[in-house]
Structure 1
Amino acid sequence: MSLLARLALKDLLRDRMQLICNIAVLAGVLVPLLVLLGVKNGVYDALIGRLLSDPAALQIDTSGNQSFSMADAEEVRGWPEAGFVTLKTRSLFDFVNVREVGGRGKRDAILVPSGSGDPTLGGLSLAEGQAVLSATLAEQLNLSPGTQVQVITQAEDRPRQLALALEVAAVMPAERMGGRAILADIAVLDLVEAFYDAYALPEHGITEGRDLAQRTPDFEGMRVFAADLTQLATLQTRIEQRFNIRTEARTAEVEGVLNLGRNLDLALVLTASVAAIGLAAALVFGFWSEVARKRRVLATLALMGLPARGLWVFPLVQALACGVLGLLVSFVIYFGAAQVAEAMFAAGMPDGQGLVSLSLAEVVSISLGVIVFVAATALFAARAAAQADPASVLREGAA
């Protein structure tokens, strides 16, 4: 077997035209498909990356004045489609004033319910007594992480203001959260609502009002994040059906991008399938014609003592060598074309995002697939070589 393999490789190098033709056929089919796959990956990854960089793409907000309990939030958290879930208080009480403890300047801001696991926080944890500020609010008040701030609110019928001290855990980048906002645990917002509802809060200096122990917490809405983009539509539908409410989310935009990815995959599969049929026909007839042309050579090798049934190794080794060289040439041309495309069109892509990209797993999978494909097409020629009768072939040549 090893002798036949060496003879096959030497014969292939001697007959360079056949080698060049097979490499050209493989590269002519593979390079366009590699470029299409690379562009599909680059463009689609850029769109998905843009969505993933904006946590609002995963967010679902309930609309209108509804009534939710802690049990409702726990139920939604148990759904496999749900990621982070928090309740919302009445939007009327979301507006607060924020200032540094001991400072004189203050700014109005929106109080947003949040907590550890909130995609908006980008992996930051939010402990009790902490808050996260938007970049705009932090800049205007000259605040930084570790600073103590006061969240101040005042109701017309309450004799005193409510001032809650919180530590700034982090400042959100402007691209993740715009405007003046402060993110805190739902317990902070619930405390503000209790203040507006005329309950006494002795721990915070509000002694007048109803007994807080008699209060039953009731929430206006929920702020829910899907576990991933593919679950957004399902989760939104499930929330609306379960609670008979309307919700707001960027479902249409997300579904549009996901559908684009599926359509691109389908188009690529169809293109690759048609190309594979043409490539298979070219390789099958090419390898078979080579075996037919070298029947006398193969017959002579069999009469010299090499096993006739082992002659299938000859065309198979030559086919695999052509496949490996064809892959190398195809990837070299692909990387050259990718560099040209990057130079021409990279200006329209996000920073750090390539227009054409192939992962290592895709390169390995494509390489293995091509080798298996070439070997499979060579089996027709290998079968013809193994079944040839050396004596009959030589008699035909003599005649």
Structure 2
Amino acid sequence: MSLSNNSANPNRLGLLSSLAWRDLIYDRKVALCIVFSLVSVIAPLLLLFGLKNGIVTQLHNQLLNDPRNLEIRMLGNGNYPQSWFNEIAHKEEVRFVIPLTRSLNTQADIVIDGQHFIDNAEIIPTAENDPLLEDVAIPQNADTLVLSANAAQKLQANVGDSVRLFISRKLNGVNERAKRTFTVGAIISDSKFPRAAAFVSLDVLVAMEDYRDGYQTPLFGITQGTEAKPRTQFAKARLYAKNLDAIAPLDDWFRQQHIDVMTQKSQIDSVKAISYVLNVIFSVIAWVSLLGCIASLIGAFLANIDRKRKDMAVLRLLGFRQFAVSLYIVLQALLLTSVAFILALGLYGIGSTLFTTLLGTHLPEQSFVCQLTFWDLLIAMCSALLVALVVASIGALRAVSIEPAESLREI
């Protein structure tokens, strides 16, 4: 019988695999020592990277997935022409921008009946690609609006209900009030916008400001007063960055324009700093553990090969070529690593559950403390097998020097 590198017979490969497995079962004490040494490295590494992914990735995703963290809020009012808004809209860092009227003109009363109403609710202009309304239908005209969950709860309003929007002004010493009826087109969650607000088309907000400035506002059925001029300037912008990395450049651009803005830049920088520090810590721990594991495995495999020189020589005497003996050692290493990884995975599951149980209660709802995805685990397993393959290959180089005659000397 000969198993050489020219032979790809599945039966012979199966025989070699069976011999490798049976040898590990027979010499199980040594095999268990190697397995446990691997488990002692793999399990803590899985838990460490699970914690890193669970905590840091969650913080990063919360920042990224919450559009409010991408908002750049302009402080104060100014007079910005349409060309200024067009310039901002063409910046690659900008995801969404829409003009805003003066702050005092972005509030109105929303009423369903005498028992369900909101005084001075926020009225916010919206348009296509609004990050806050990406999951709902955008108001396409001045007859529909979108309510925040807070506003909908106070009004006891549902999608399809009619609500009235009231605005007030004092013209020539006379207090006046105008209204317009809207249909609730959608409701957005508190995670998108926690305060009581209604999202409307820009025309509605412009009409509200025109009315309070004493102009005619046909949108609200008001024909008294001076006819409003076409709007060419706005007080500020409602602006969202494309991603977290775009916050800083936009913040710098506004400051160069001497425009005061408020962003979540400090919070974003803090999370990035935490992520960087933890990446360094975990990388150092991982490399130290990996090098220790490699050194331990090299010693264990080399010692095991020296201990089994007679067995290797017998295999050579029975017709196994050098390639077959090398493959025999590699197969044993891969089998041991696979068993160790399965055991480490079980310990990781127990540790992950304990972390989530003990620490999860101190985090917001739906938070996770320790988590690895299927692809993370697959990469970890492939990495462990690769390390075992490299170490086994070093041992195989030592094994190929064993001659069949060594087995005859012991007879």
Q: Is contact 1:60-1:225 (8 Å) kept? A: yes
Partners of 1:71 and 1:205 in 2: CA distance: 31
Evaluate the alpha carbon distance shift between residue 178 and residue 338 of structure 1 in structure 2; reply closer, same or farther with a 3 A threshold.
closer
Q: Is contact 1:87-1:223 (8 Å) kept? A: yes
Q: For 1:179-233, what per-residue CA distance to the aligned partner results, in whole angstroms no more than 9, with x for missing partners?
A: 4322212221112222233433345433344444x43421111111222334333
Q: Is contact 2:122-2:197 (8 Å) kept? A: yes
Partners of 1:138 and 1:15 in 2: CA distance: 70
Partners of 1:4 and 1:137 in 2: CA distance: 72
Which residues of structure 2 form unaligned runs of 5+? 4-12
The residue aligned with 1:228 is 243
TM (norm. structure 2) is: 0.86
The residue aligned with 1:302 is 316
Partners of 1:53 and 1:313 in 2: CA distance: 49
Evaluate the alpha carbon distance shift between residue 205 and residue 337 of structure 1 in structure 2; reply closer, same or farther with a 3 A threshold.
closer
One-letter amino acid of the structure 1 residue matched with residue 209 of structure 2: E
Which residues of structure 1 form unaligned runs of 5+? none
Q: For 1:3-35, what per-residue CA distance to the aligned partner results, in whole angstroms no more than 9, with x for missing partners?
A: 433322221221111210111111001111111
Partners of 1:102 and 1:354 in 2: CA distance: 44
Q: For 1:297-327, what per-residue CA distance to the aligned partner results, in whole angstroms no more than 9, with x for missing partners?
A: 2222222222134321121111111110110
Q: Is contact 1:107-1:137 (8 Å) kept? A: no
Q: Structure 1 residue 256: deviation in Å?
A: 1.1
Q: Structure 1 residue 268: deviation in Å?
A: 1.1
- Bigger mean CA offset, 371-380 vs 44-53: 44-53
Q: Is contact 1:46-1:349 (8 Å) kept? A: no
Partners of 1:103 and 1:8 in 2: CA distance: 80
The residue aligned with 1:67 is 79
Q: Is contact 2:356-2:370 (8 Å) kept? A: yes
Partners of 1:151 and 1:23 in 2: CA distance: 71
The residue aligned with 1:218 is 233
The residue aligned with 1:82 is 94
Partners of 2:112 and 2:71 in 1: CA distance: 30
Evaluate the alpha carbon distance shift between residue 164 and residue 72 of structure 1 in structure 2; reply closer, same or farther with a 3 A threshold.
farther
RMSD over aligned CA atoms reads 2.7
- Bigger mean CA offset, 246-255 vs 176-185: 176-185
The residue aligned with 2:187 is 171
TM (norm. structure 1) is: 0.89
- Bigger mean CA offset, 215-224 vs 136-145: 136-145
- Bigger mean CA offset, 6-15 vs 47-56: 47-56
The residue aligned with 1:94 is 106
Partners of 1:296 and 1:104 in 2: CA distance: 90
Aligned residues: 395
Q: Is contact 2:167-2:178 (8 Å) kept? A: yes
Partners of 2:249 and 2:33 in 1: CA distance: 52
SS of the residue aligned with 2:237? strand
**Superposed, which structure 2 residues align to 1:2-151 within 5 Å?**
2=13, 3-51=15-63, 54-100=66-112, 107-121=119-133, 123-127=135-139, 128-129=141-142, 130-151=144-165
The residue aligned with 1:189 is 205
Q: Is contact 2:118-2:151 (8 Å) kept? A: no
SS of the residue aligned with 2:238? strand
SS of the residue aligned with 1:388? coil
Partners of 1:95 and 1:13 in 2: CA distance: 77
Q: Structure 1 residue 105: deviation in Å?
A: 5.9
SS of the residue aligned with 1:358? coil
Q: Is contact 1:23-1:325 (8 Å) kept? A: yes
The residue aligned with 1:347 is 361
Partners of 1:94 and 1:141 in 2: CA distance: 19
One-letter amino acid of the structure 2 residue matched with residue 337 of structure 1: G
- Bigger mean CA offset, 83-92 vs 42-51: 42-51
Q: Of the candidates 342, 346, 349, which is equivalent to residue 328 of structure 1?
A: 342
The residue aligned with 1:153 is 167
Partners of 1:207 and 1:259 in 2: CA distance: 58
The residue aligned with 1:255 is 269
